Structure 1
Amino acid sequence: MSEHRIEVAGVEVATQHYIGGRRVGSASTFEVRSPLDWDWKLADVARGDASTARDAVTAAEEAFPAWAALSAKERAEHLHRLADVIDANVERVAQVETVDMAMRLQSLRERLVHRGAENFRNYADLAAGYEERVWSSKGTENRVIRMPAGPAVIITPWNAPWMLSTWKMAPALAAGNPVVLKPAEWSPLSASILADLADEAGMPPGVLNVVQGIGEEVGAALVADPRVRRISFTGSPEAARHIGRAAAENIVPFTAELGGKGPLLVFEDADLDAAAKKAAWQYDDSGQVCLAGTRLLVQDSIREAFLERFHAYVDTHVLGDSRADDTTITPMIHPDHLARVDGFVQRARDNGDRVVRGGRVRPDGGLFYEPTLVEPASNDSEIVQREVFGPVLTFQTFADEDEGVRLANSTDYGLSGIVYTGSRERAERVGRAVRAGTVWVNTFLVRDLTAPFGGCRISGIGREGGHFALEFHADLKTLQILDGSTG
């Protein structure tokens, strides 16, 4: 095995960048450790810098003319081959992702790795099936044409890295834009495997590039490069502000998904058992899910009945190794993030909020935080108003529909919402009234890849998903030809 390839969970993983169809090193490295056992160092990974960023954008820029010149159907053939290679390597990706980020192995095997293949197929087919809008106006024939925009920088977070990387890269590639992917430094290894799979699938050099490193170093250099024509980011509002300034400097469109503080409203006419079970499921992946309904808002009249069922379902959770089939709550990603989550809860205690259950790091070791429920003293409490991104939910009650909606819309976020009710009329009213990019009624996390996805307010700008993502990655042209002027 090459000195630049190591074995992780029985799988060979490259530790260098992937630029222009080949592996490229850096003068320095950074450590990657497993959340399953923080003493387990998985790899020393190449640490990119401004020079690495320039090289990656150059590779994408050089690949752009030939990739853009292909028809959408020809690009679709490349992406379908990549999807086939992914489906043939599910176990390889799943084994690495589960030790790198601590997502449940069973979920990766059964759903999430295949979702990566589905992303590439879905966007390939959408792009290939695009029909130009054609109409007559004022003596001219008009057409709306999608033009590839140019190199795209994709920056992904440490949670669900495989799924989010493929979700963001697929529309860019399908639209004709070569990509430079910068994965999060806490969980970069599945992105390296994706580069190998792209190589195996015969992706042209420079069309798909992967650069590893620290955000403030290589990430900042990537988004500041004036040759970059699209930026897609998922992460924190703080980081997005820096990226937005760089994008504005170069007049580059960017989309940002920045987390949430989703309400989960339960009305007295809801199926209480279903609502309580779904509420307890918000602890999945240790609450490290941007779409989670972390604010439980329950109508006064069903407070005790809901809590009884909720606690019973939470009691069935098993905190354990991500590779074990019976595990339902996994370790957190990093000691720093564990401390951050605990800090939120301890400040809540100090400020008079009541910790109903949990509220501490599990005492027998590991990066586990107990499933926690906090009843805030005020809706203005930090624990209500700021994203914790851990297994911490808040519990509040409301008297009627108007108060429930007011509480649901009382934070600066607006990514998602969940509503449980037995009334179709209320489902429509409340579903429309909750200010969020996605609202589910009597269900959660059911995703249609053609639907728009994104947030309101500080949860982000722009929309991904379906034709919305393809339009973002294209420059639109209106072609007008005078009627009768051509033979």
Structure 2
Amino acid sequence: MTEHTLTVAGVAVDTRHWIGGRRVASAETFTDVSPIDGSVIGEISRGTALEAAAAVAAAKAAFPAWAATSRAERARILHAVADGVEKRIEELSIVETTDNGALLRSHRRGVMPRVAHNFRFFADWLLKLEHEDFETRGHTNHVSWDPAGPSVLITPWNAPLMLATWKVAPALAAGNTVVLKPAEWSPLTASLLADIAAEAGLPAGVLNVVQGYGSEIGDALTSHPDVRRISFTGSVPTARRIAESAAGNLTPLSLELGGKSPLLVFADADLDLAVDLAVEQYDNAGQVCLAATRFLVEESVAEEFTRRFVEKAATLAQGDPRHETTDIGPNIHPRQLEKIDAFVQRALAAGARAVIGGHRKDTQYYAPTLLTDVAQDSEIVQEEVFGPVLTLQTFSTEEEAVRLANDTRFGLAATLATADAERAERVTAQLVAGTVWVNCFFVRDLQAPFGGSRHSGVGREGGTWSFDFYCDVKNTVTAPNGWKNHG
């Protein structure tokens, strides 16, 4: 081991940046802390504008050769990256659980296999990416996807590696080079990804990882004139700053910005199913952008729904996310816990009632909370909390349900519980959301479009939509019979 290597649950993790195919240390560091118990994991290289510029320069230098690499070869390397992820699922899982507090069993069974799938899916989609040629007055139109250039990808802390590779995989498949900036609260698996990619044969400079605070290196990345694409997942205020920074170069943006999604429960719904869907919103300690945090329940079944929900929620085990029986782990950081509690205490002071929870359990964990007696225009209904805090309101008509569901500035997702297929069709047609689930939740396919409306984001990713973003889509029009005979 070296001074730049941490041992996390027996796994060696390099704390330096990965730039141009080599490890680069910064003069200063920042402290990485485990949300499980507040213990210090170690010191991580703290990037500056200098490292940001070096990473973009490396990506720019590597771009021509990577863009010229055949589709088949790019796909082969991405599959090799997926192979590397699969060989290290246990290591990646324990490191990420230590770093961000999400359930170890979820990482092992779902999250890390999905990381490998991200690479395999976009590698395979690349090989079948095409648009049928079409004719215009005898002229042939041919659509192609040209690599755009160096791409800056800024990723969040709630599902660090899965959400990073949701961006990295299509960007690399498209022929772009990448500068990945992971969240400072959960940087470790991005460093491991750099190792895995290098071992898989990804050329130097094609993937670069720069760690540090967004406030210190963000503008250097997003305002750089050599950056051709920026993809960001995070908060609305940060997205505004990124958009302002990118505006000078008219750099295209993809933004996924969270939400305040509703769960609509109609009286004809299977209440056991509806309650299961509702309790599922505590997943990852409520730190899920797609979570349906606003329950809208038809008046005639609201009391029974609430009773069953309270009973079901009481069976959830909260504690150490490394334990197989744990259902809810810690929140990511004491600062986030303070933010969550401040939301709840302001809501209680304004007249809300805590059916369950409404308080911290300690410095790392927040009690699963359900608030009622909340006004539609209240902060707790309108603003994203990003913690295990849910609200419940009632409605009497379908029209009222739709009105309440759409009455926020967000529009990322919505979930609907009903036994009436015609109602489902009517309501989903009116909901403002990028994804709507009917009698289910969190069923996602990478070939489907993903993104949000209103303040929940800009653009769609997934399948061909990802390539549309990461590429310059070109149409070539060829006249008929315009060739000279060189035979």
Task: Identify whether the pair has TM-score above 0.5, normalized to the shorter chain.
Answer: yes
Counterpart of 1:36 in structure 2: which amino acid? I
Alpha-carbon offset, residue 442 of structure 1:
0.3
1:229-248 equivalences under 5 Å are 229-248=228-247
1:395-434 equivalences under 5 Å are 395-434=392-431
- Aligned-residue sequence identity (percent) comes to 55
Counterpart of 2:409 in structure 1: which amino acid? D
| CA–CA distance in structure 1, aligned partners of residues 233 and 96 of structure 2 | 18
| CA–CA distance in structure 2, aligned partners of residues 354 and 216 of structure 1 | 37
Q: Tell me, yes or no, if structure 1 residue 464 matches structure 2 residue 475.
A: no
Q: TM-score, normalised by structure 2?
A: 0.98
Equivalent residue, structure 2, for 1:346: 345
Equivalent residue, structure 2, for 1:368: 365
| CA–CA distance in structure 2, aligned partners of residues 347 and 89 of structure 1 | 44
Equivalent residue, structure 1, for 2:380: 383
Misfit runs of 4+, over 2 Å: none
Alpha-carbon offset, residue 132 of structure 1:
3.6
Counterpart of 1:169 in structure 2: which amino acid? V
Counterpart of 1:100 in structure 2: which amino acid? D
Equivalent residue, structure 2, for 1:326: 325
Whether the 8 Å contact between 2:228 and 2:252 is mirrored in structure 1 is: yes
CA deviation digits over 1:353-410, x for unaligned, max 9? 2222210001xx3411011111144111100000000000000000011100100000
Counterpart of 2:132 in structure 1: which amino acid? R
Equivalent residue, structure 2, for 1:11: 11
| CA–CA distance in structure 1, aligned partners of residues 198 and 461 of structure 2 | 26
| CA–CA distance in structure 2, aligned partners of residues 421 and 276 of structure 1 | 12
Structure 1 unaligned blocks of 5 or more: none
| CA–CA distance in structure 2, aligned partners of residues 189 and 197 of structure 1 | 13
Candidates 439, 443, 459, aligned match of 2:436: 439
Counterpart of 1:137 in structure 2: which amino acid? T
1:98-247 equivalences under 5 Å are 98-247=97-246
Equivalent residue, structure 2, for 1:58: 57
CA deviation digits over 1:116-154, x for unaligned, max 9? 110011011111111243112123221111100000000
Alpha-carbon offset, residue 220 of structure 1:
1.8
Counterpart of 1:427 in structure 2: which amino acid? A
Whether the 8 Å contact between 1:157 and 1:234 is mirrored in structure 2 is: yes
Whether the 8 Å contact between 1:373 and 1:394 is mirrored in structure 2 is: yes
Q: SS of 1:293's equivalent?
A: coil
Equivalent residue, structure 2, for 1:298: 297
Whether the 8 Å contact between 2:130 and 2:144 is mirrored in structure 1 is: no
Whether the 8 Å contact between 2:233 and 2:257 is mirrored in structure 1 is: yes
| CA–CA distance in structure 2, aligned partners of residues 377 and 484 of structure 1 | 70
Alpha-carbon offset, residue 70 of structure 1:
1.1
Whether the 8 Å contact between 2:374 and 2:393 is mirrored in structure 1 is: no
| CA–CA distance in structure 1, aligned partners of residues 216 and 223 of structure 2 | 11
| CA–CA distance in structure 1, aligned partners of residues 140 and 298 of structure 2 | 57
Counterpart of 1:23 in structure 2: which amino acid? R
Whether the 8 Å contact between 1:376 and 1:384 is mirrored in structure 2 is: no
Counterpart of 2:328 in structure 1: which amino acid? I
Alpha-carbon offset, residue 478 of structure 1:
1.3
Q: SS of 1:18's equivalent?
A: strand
| CA–CA distance in structure 2, aligned partners of residues 102 and 386 of structure 1 | 24
Structure 2 unaligned blocks of 5 or more: none
| CA–CA distance in structure 1, aligned partners of residues 5 and 199 of structure 2 | 16
Equivalent residue, structure 2, for 1:47: 46
CA deviation digits over 1:215-246, x for unaligned, max 9? 01112210010100000000000000011112
Equivalent residue, structure 2, for 1:24: 24
1:304-319 equivalences under 5 Å are 304-319=303-318
1:235-314 equivalences under 5 Å are 235-314=234-313
Q: TM-score, normalised by structure 1?
A: 0.98
